[in-house]
Amino acid sequence: MDLPSKVKLREVAPRDGFQSLKDFLPTEQKLQIIEAVVKAGVKDIESTSFVSPRAIPQLRDAADLLAQVPRQGVTHAALVPNLKGAQNAISAKVDQLVVVISATEAHNQENIRRSIDESLGDLDSIFSLAKGNDTPVIGALAVSFGCPYQGDVSEKNVFRVVEEYISRGAASIILADTTGMATPTRVQIMVLRFREQFPGVKFTLHFHNNRGTAMANLLAALIAGATTFDTALGGIGGCPYVPQAAGNLPTEDVVFMLEDMGVSTGIDLEELITAAHLLEKFLGYPLPGQVMKSGPRDPKLAAKICGVGQNL
């Protein structure tokens, strides 16, 4: 396998993970989780979302949280659904904006009650505002690998929106498998064609594990040349109260696997597991991450961090 020597992991638990929580997680606890992953070496965080407090009450503390997060050496991104969100995010001094449009009409309608063209129509004002404030914009594509309403998604539909992002100066692109419909060959084809179609354009893969394929998809993407991935502490994400929902790739599982494969993440696994345990303590129920339960390969370290002794 031809693997990169290092990759970048964007920690999305504070946005994609927390937004799915039913009960409000106190700002102080959100802050502690961000501090804990920063201590572990995480440098890129999607820290919150500037959305309507009525739409996602969980993230109503976005500005308050961003006023307290560690800034030194850390890039804080925030998801914004519209111009108002972008204005609020910039006022709160985010380092990056993330905008999202779905690759299919049906999903865009369900997700934000607008057509893709309506969403595209908003981009000019958001990009213009961001440019005026020296704030990079990341363009994300929901349901890039399959849509729960339409099924298969054509590359053409994905690349059409990617082109709109790039033409407006997007700093990078996120290809999201929003409901876990990707499999390795789909990922490989998408990554190879993306690189061919948009040479030099930075891109991130964002996988969900609804069908158990997320880690294999990451491996396929890595082999195809991807070097940036969204992951979430403990694998949080999706609604914990809905049985079919499934989380993001657990950051600590990804760090464990990649570091063992000789691919550097710059993140300390032991500190990261400690952070995942803290999150589980705050939530009061088990997270899907596996390494936080079984520990690293080293039996002594596993016993020390996870108390699992022999973890048979």
Distance CA 294, CA 302 (A): 7
Q: How far is the CB of 233 from a copy of itself (least distance, A)?
A: 13
- What are the residues whose beta carbons fall under 8 Å from the beta carbon of 118, sequence distance 6 or more? none
CA geometry: angle at 67 spanning 272 and 276, to 5°? Answer: 15
**Which residues here bind a copy of itself, judged by CB under 8 A?**
1, 3, 110, 146, 148-152, 178-181, 183-186, 188, 209-213, 215-216, 218-220, 223, 235, 243-246, 250, 253, 256-257, 260-262, 286, 289-291, 293-295, 297-299, 302, 306, 308, 310-312
Distance CA 273, CA 268 (A): 9
Q: How far is the CB of 12 from a copy of itself (least distance, A)?
A: 17
- Cα–Cα distance list, 123 to 127, 134, 174 (Å): 6, 16, 16
Burial class (CB in 10 A: 0-12, 13-18, 19+), 239: middle
Annotated catalytic residue within 3, 239, 257, 308? 239
Q: How far is the CB of 221 from a copy of itself (least distance, A)?
A: 11
CB nearer a copy of itself, residue 201 or residue 245: 245
Distance CA 7, CA 25 (A): 30
Q: How far is the CB of 100 from a copy of itself (least distance, A)?
A: 14
Q: How far is the CB of 136 from a copy of itself (least distance, A)?
A: 29
What is the residue-wise DSSP string for 23-73? Answer: SPPPHHHHHHHHHHHHHTT--EEEEEE---TTT-GGGTTHHHHHTTS--TT
Q: How far is the CB of 291 from a copy of itself (least distance, A)?
A: 5
- Cα–Cα distance list, 14 to 100, 126, 152, 177, 232 (Å): 17, 23, 29, 18, 8
- What are the residues whose beta carbons fall under 8 Å from the beta carbon of 250, sequence distance 6 or more? 231, 232, 233, 234, 235, 276, 287, 288, 289, 290, 291, 292
Measured over the CA atoms of residue 54, residue 106, residue 210 and residue 155, the dihedral's sign is negative
Three-class SS of residue 244?
A: coil
Question: Is 239 a catalytic site residue?
Answer: yes
CB nearer a copy of itself, residue 33 or residue 214: 214
CB nearer a copy of itself, residue 63 or residue 308: 308
CB nearer a copy of itself, residue 157 or residue 179: 179
Q: Do residues 290 and 271 make contact, with C-beta atoms less than 8 angstroms apart?
A: no
CB nearer a copy of itself, residue 71 or residue 297: 297
CB nearer a copy of itself, residue 166 or residue 257: 257
Q: How far is the CB of 280 from a copy of itself (least distance, A)?
A: 10
Q: What share of the chain is helix, strand, coil (3-state, %, to 5)?
A: 45, 15, 40
Q: Which residues are catalytic?
A: 239
